[in-house]
Amino acid sequence: MSVRRRVPKLAAACLAAACLAGVAATPAGAGKAAKPQVITVADFYFGPNAVTIPKGGTVKWVWASTNTESHDVHLKKGPKGLKQKGTYSTKTTAVTNATFKHAFPTPGTYNFICTIHPTKMKMTVTVKK
């Protein structure tokens, strides 16, 4: 489900509710972003290791509290012509108590690894058109 489809429905519902209640109508829910897709960064996997999100969707990586090892999130390969590619990777590593969030405005396939454990920790984000 894309954000574009959802927002008009939410706005319409909100407007209708406001009209029925006799209140001045302001589409408060219209700008509300969809919840980010949460990925767990654990020893030694990303969970889930493949997600599909709508264009403009957000992914949030959350490091597990049980980790003993350092991990990062590194974009190994993204769609052609992707702008600001460097921002899709963390600059630092973390063991726990860490989060990294990024929006995906460009459709395509994004392959991520943990550079500390590149053979074990791989994942894909697919951004639909």
Partner 1 sequence: MKRRFAVPAMVVFLCACLGAAPGAAQAAKGKGQKQTQPKNKVFLVCRHGCKFHTVQRGVDAAGSFKHKPKNAAVQAIVKVKPGKYVEGVVLDGRLRKKEFDGLKIVGMKENPRKQILEGKNAKGELGPAQNGIEAVDVNGVTIRNLWARNYESNGFFVHASVQAGQECDGFKMENLLASDNRSYGLFAKGCLGGKMLHSSGWHQGDSAFYIGETPCDSVTWTNHGEAPPPCQAKPKWTVLRDDDSYENVLGYSGTNSKYVKIVESNFFNNGAGIVPNTLDSEGFEPNGWNYFEHNNVFWNNYNYFLAGTSFKTVSAGLGELSGLTINYPTGTGIILYGGANNIVRQNNVFGNYKWGIAAFSGPGESFVANEGNDAKSINNQIVENTMGRGGADPNGEYDFLGDATGGGNCWGANSAGSTFDPGIGAVPLGQIYPGCPQPPAVADQVRSLNLAAGIQVILTDTGNPKTILGYAGQSPPQNQQCSWVRPVAAHPPFEDFTPAEVAPQPGELTCP
Cβ-in-10-Å burial (0-12, 13-18, 19+) of 23 comes to exposed
Q: What phi and psi values does residue 56 have, to the nearest 5 degrees? A: 85, -5
Q: How far is CA 37 from the centre of its chain?
A: 5
Of the residues 2, 40, 58, 93, which one makes contact with partner 1 according to CB under 8 A: 93
Total chain residues near partner 1 (CB under 8 A): 26
Q: How far apart are CA 49 and CA 56, in angstroms?
A: 20
DSSP state of 3: H
Q: How far is the CB of 98 from partner 1 (least distance, A)?
A: 4
Print the binding letters for residues 50-89 with partner 1: x by CB under 8 A, - otherwise. Answer: -------------x--xxxxx---x---------------
| Among 16-24, 29-37, 77-85, 91-99, the segment contacting partner 1 (CB under 8 A) | 91-99
Interface with partner 1 (CB under 8 A): 43-44, 63, 66-70, 74, 90-100, 115-120
